[in-house]
Amino acid sequence: MSNLDRRPPARELGGLADTPAGPVLDLLPGKEVLLGESTRVRRLLPTLGRRLVGAWAFVDHYGPDDIASSPGMQVPPHPHTGLQTVSWLLEGEVHHRDSLGSDAVIRPGELALMTAGHGIAHSEQSPAAHPRFLHGAQLWVALPDAARDTAPAFAHHTELPGFASDGLTATVLMGELGGAGSPGTAHTPLVGADLDLAAGADVELPLEPDFEYALLASSGSAEVEDALLERGAMLYLGTGRRSVRMRAGEAARLLLLGGEPFEERIVMWWNFVGRSGEEIAEYAERWDAEDERFGAVVGYDGDRLPAPPLPPVPLKARGRVR
């Protein structure tokens, strides 16, 4: 998905100054963001309270929306650099097209993993004939310096590994959890998993103490350690945990995001991740000039999204020292 904010703020992310040295329970309520004319999403990252969880740099949760009598998701061609997009659906379908020629319909339980690297453009739309409800999450992963200029790629994984125990059914989107490893290519140590908790589930999930973690309640609510995590909210768990206890009264779906704290400092603006304001400005200029860096999305009927005006103050990758 695109950040459709016409005045997107620039963010400096990364560095370890904000990473707690041990477990915490920070509730991040997120904020409602209007995308385009009708789509409302809840933005959980970045927020005022937290900017990164591992390399996870952007988290939007949307729906479930009744789109029976509307076109549903309609995101025109837009660019990305320096990141991966992870698309995850709980209900509905999304038609992905990109400048590599990829053309795929993504369904619940499948992973759409787009590595922007050097540069890519894509569009995302509900198919003309689509299911009634649309519900999902749009996630971005920041690429480390060694991989951020890599060739762009798109992978559609229709089968994902997982495991089941104590009322929990886990599906691994990225990284590894409970011995199940995702086929998705990751460039830093991280994990993303869908946790489906049955009514009455009481489960202790093993974690990696070197990782920081957050849980997003995509449907239902759950007790996580001593905190109540309600639908649409995110709970940041900090680092240093060997496990986390989750209890669900009613059935619930949680999204687990985690990873090694991301040490590099990055600049994120609109749909770009770079290392300096100059870089970001160049990406925007090249996108608006229809430069070959991003290519063209074939088969999309309509105009591409222009880059919003750059912020008046130059973007700066300010040194945040650990």
Residues that bind Mn ion (CB under 5 A): 1-2
Here the tokens at position 165 are: 């125990």
Residue located via tokens 């061609």: 77
The nearest distance, CB 301 to Mn ion, in angstroms, is 18
Q: Which is nearer to Mn ion, 1 or 53 (CB)?
A: 1
The nearest distance, CB 122 to Mn ion, in angstroms, is 6
Q: Which is nearer to Mn ion, 6 or 318 (CB)?
A: 6
The nearest distance, CB 120 to Mn ion, in angstroms, is 9
Residue partners of 292: CB distance under 8 A and separation at least 6: none
Task: State the CB neighbour count (10 A cutoff) for residue 168.
Answer: 21
Here the tokens at position 300 are: 């999309």
Note the residue count of the chain: 322
Distance CA 110, CA 158 (A): 5
Q: Which is nearer to Mn ion, 80 or 241 (CB)?
A: 80
Number of residue whose CB is nearest Mn ion: 2
For 156-214, what is the HEC assignment? EECCCCEEEECCEEEEEEECEECCEECCCCCCCCEEEEEEEECCCCEEEEECCCCCEEE
DSSP string, 135-149: EEEEEEEEPPTTTTT
The nearest distance, CB 5 to Mn ion, in angstroms, is 13
Distance CA 266, CA 15 (A): 9
Q: Which is nearer to Mn ion, 76 or 258 (CB)?
A: 76
The nearest distance, CB 119 to Mn ion, in angstroms, is 12
The nearest distance, CB 126 to Mn ion, in angstroms, is 15
Give the single-character DSSP code of 299.
T
The nearest distance, CB 114 to Mn ion, in angstroms, is 8
Q: Which is nearer to Mn ion, 262 or 270 (CB)?
A: 270
Q: Which is nearer to Mn ion, 1 or 45 (CB)?
A: 1
Residue partners of 183: CB distance under 8 A and separation at least 6: 111, 155, 157, 160, 161
Q: Which is nearer to Mn ion, 1 or 143 (CB)?
A: 1
